[in-house]
Chains A and B, each alone.
Chain A
Amino acid sequence: MDSAPAKRSSWLNDQRVRELAYQILLLALIAVVVWGGIYNAVVNMRARGIPMSFGFWNDVAGFDINLHLINYSNLSTYGRAFWVGLLNTLLIGLICIPLATLLGFVIGVARLSPNWLLSRFALVYTSVMRNTPLLLLLLFWYNAVLKSLPGPRQSISLDDVVFLNNRGLYLPMPFARPSAVWFLGMAVVAIVSAVGFHVWGRWRQDRTGAQMPTALVAAALIVGLPALVIAAAGVPFGFDIARLSGFNLKGGLQIIPEMAALVFGLVTFTAAFIAEIVRAGVLAVPFGQSEAAGALGLHHGLSMRLVVIPQAMRLITPPLTSQYLNIVKNSSLAVFIGYPDLVQIFAGTVLNQTQATVQVMAITMAVYLAISLAVATALNAFNARYALKGQ
């Protein structure tokens, strides 16, 4: 386009004019659609008496939420309900991400196991999970399993400590005794010194080649120091165990069945995808790497841990991050089984009560977008830091 035309042609044939025209046309089209949409929305909302401000934010919500991490009652505001929902969504993410990662790595490694039967088991698991809708899994766990459990009086109990019934899973709730401060302080000291010993052992191994028994020392520190506190000052934690009183269980840590089903479904579903990512990442590391590790005398486990997995992580991390985002986004399926997450509380109950459709949907989507963008930014920073140089 840069070469000057030999003969002066019409300005209509000028590439730059055309490009500009196309873009103006597109922008005009978008503007018309957006303006038309807003105009219609204003007309329709006025006609139906739908509120057009965010004034509802400070109104009294008037409904109860059966799981709230911050103080909430039916006298709280809609704004408070929003924060309760957001925290519940993040709670699911925080619980599911480590569990799904753990299970996914275990299954991914099992899939690569030299044992044929174990690798087939892992294959069957990933095939079934990846080809079944998540919603079906959630409905199955919630309706067919957890809701069909016996009532509180006939709870399935594990030694009268852990109880499972159709009101949820009851775990012992730990509470702190006065010596807990010492216990926790000692645990921190133990962890810090174990890490310090590990770093020093590394440094020494790099210099002299002599290996230090890092794992043994770390175990001794982490078990030993807190054990000293227990010996000196008694057990630092007590456990509040649920007891049957009347028709229900009292005390303990109650995990509502909605949450149990959501966590179980999301973890088992996402783990299958993570397993495939792990498998693909490990297989992408050239076989020569494990052969070289073997030639250096490392056995299968060590060569995986020290040579293959660190290289595979570079390939695993980006898709793994998108699976983490999927967990957060898929937790919105909570609305089908009644777990009070952001979508169920805010885009469901609050939207229906206030009728403030546009505002509520905008806030809900903005929250998810913000989470996605934040994670994407972090991932880009990670990639820039760990990408292979010179490729």
Chain B
Amino acid sequence: MDALTYVRKAPAPEEAPPLLSSGALAWARTNLFSSIGSTSVTLGCVALVAYLLPQLAAWATTRAIWSASDGAACRQHQDGACWAFVVAKWDYLRFGSYPGAERWRVDVTEAIGAALIVWLLWINAPRRAWGAFLFFVAYPILALILLRGSSWFGLTSVDTQLWGGIFVSLLTAVVGIVFSLPLGVLLALGRRSSLPAVRLASVVFIEFVRGVPFITILFMANNLLPLFVPETWTPDRLLRPLAGIIIFSAAYMAEEVRGGLQSLGRGQYEAAMALGLKYAPMTGLIVLPQALTLVLPGIVNNFIGLFMDTTLISIVGATDFLEAMNNAIKDPVWAGPTIMVTGYAFAGIFYFIFCFGMARYSAHIEKVRAKGRM
């Protein structure tokens, strides 16, 4: 027994500190080279980027044609993008066939709209209720007068058949949100109403619209709407897809708002009733302000979907941005093998910047909320 006992007489030697526990190398070791599999994946990804990125960058920048008066230079340099085409078509892509002398009206409308949207999306902005009133009530009227023209204000009338480009894409999306949000709120309240007839009507509308593709709604708005109104009321060619997008987007908005209404604590309703509020003031003063703030990220995400869906309105003859790009690509002056890829690449970048920006915004709101700062 004694021979087996072991008593340490001197302290064990100090171990060397771990070579890598912090810093860039340690990070790379745990996140990039933790195992053989991980290392090969990393090397594969690096190889892919090293192979593709320089080619893509050169295609888009150094080998690209930046300015030219027609397609001749682009036809000669087929290994680069033809941004000159986009530059030359920029006005058409923005305004469609809107008359040149009147385009300032579009600019003004877009600028006011942008300012109002910033006001609404900036959470801590002062007097957002005023912003909402201006955006949802005053702005549509102003925009209609500015864009369509009115003899009272000395603005010449511009036929909607001439409208086109980015302007129509933005217009469609904004009209969609301005009209579908209030409608969606009504539908959401209706779906949660205690009155069976109201509830049934809301449910049927929402589920019907959500059950069919957007294209069929557009076809319906384009082909059936003129049949269902008296001949003298026949809606304008651009008004029909707008009606379609309002109907479509209202159903999705309603489901979004319903989510907000459901997540509101029961105590809010009970406290409001205890204060003696009837249905309308309770909804307007207590329920909706909280529910709508709660679902703001969802509404923004919905708006992103709405903005991407505006590309479909060209099926019923409206000229949105993508359709304007398609038309521009067909111009024989610019015909060449690089034009189509350049055009679609530019359209892709445009939609991506817009949608990704909004997605970042709603993700930011959610993050701030998750931290409980609001």
Which chain B residue has the least Cβ–Cβ distance from A355?
B223
Chain B residue at smallest Cβ distance from A300: B35
The residue from B196, B223, B312 contacting A357, defined by CB atoms under 8 A apart: B223
Please tell me if the beta carbons of B216 and A332 are within 8 angstroms of each other in the complex: yes
Q: Is the CB of B211 within 8 A of A144?
A: no
A contact residues around B201 at 8 Å (CB): 26, 30
Tell me how many residue pairs across A and B have CB atoms closer than 8 Å. Answer: 148
Q: Count of A residues near B, CB < 8 Å?
A: 56
Q: B322 touching A368 by the CB < 8 A rule?
A: no
Are B211 and A117 in touch, CB under 8 angstroms?
A: no
Interface flag for A45 (CB, 8 Å): yes
CB distance from B92 to the nearest CB of A (A): 18
- Whether B322 and A37, one on each chain, are in contact in the complex, defined by CB atoms closer than 8 angstroms, is no
Q: Is A188 an interface residue (CB 8 A)?
A: no
A343 touches B213 (CB 8 A): yes
Least CB distance, A363 to chain B, in whole angstroms = 11
Q: In this assembly, does A114 line the interface, its C-beta being within 8 Å of a C-beta of chain B?
A: yes
Q: Given contacts A333-B215, A347-B219, are A41 and B45 in contact (CB under 8 A)?
A: no
From A40, A47, A131, A148, B229 is in contact (CB under 8 Å) with A40
CB distance from A294 to the nearest CB of B (A): 15
Residues of B353-371 at the interface with A, using a CB-CB cut-off of 8 Å, are 355-356, 359
Asked whether any CB of chain B lies closer than 8 Å to the CB of A381, the reply is no
Please tell me if B227 contacts chain A, counting CB pairs below 8 Å. yes
Taking the closest CB of chain A, its distance from the CB of B302, in whole angstroms, is: 13
The residues in A between 90 and 149 inclusive whose CB is less than 8 angstroms from any CB of B are 113-118, 121, 127-128, 130-136, 139-140, 143-144, 148
User: Does B352 sit at the interface, judged by CB under 8 A?
Assistant: yes
- Residue picked from A133, A347, A365, most chain B C-beta under 10 Å: A133
* B148 within 8 Å of A (CB atoms): no
> Contact between A136 and B311 (Cβ–Cβ < 8 Å)?
yes
Total B residues in contact with A, Cβ cutoff 8 Å: 53
Q: Given contacts A117-B45, A131-B356, A144-B340, is CB(A357)–CB(B351) below 8 Å?
A: no
Q: How far is the CB of A116 from chain B (nearest CB, A)?
A: 4
C-alpha spacing A131/B62, complex, angstroms: 27
Measured between beta carbons, the chain A residues less than 8 angstroms from B235 are: none
Given A40-B229, A144-B344: A361 and B224 within 8 A (CB)?
A: yes
Q: Is the CB of A140 within 8 A of B344?
A: yes
| Given A26-B198, A336-B315, CB of A139 within 8 Å of CB of B231 | no
Instruction: Report A-chain residues with C-beta under 8 Å of the C-beta of B228.
Output: 36-38, 40-41
Assembled-state Cα–Cα distance A364/B213 (Å)? 10
A-B contact pairs, 7 of them (CB 8 A): A23-B195, A114-B31, A115-B41, A127-B359, A136-B322, A136-B347, A368-B213
Closest 8 A/B residue pairs (Cβ)? A372-B211, A131-B355, A23-B197, A37-B228, A116-B31, A332-B213, A133-B308, A329-B213
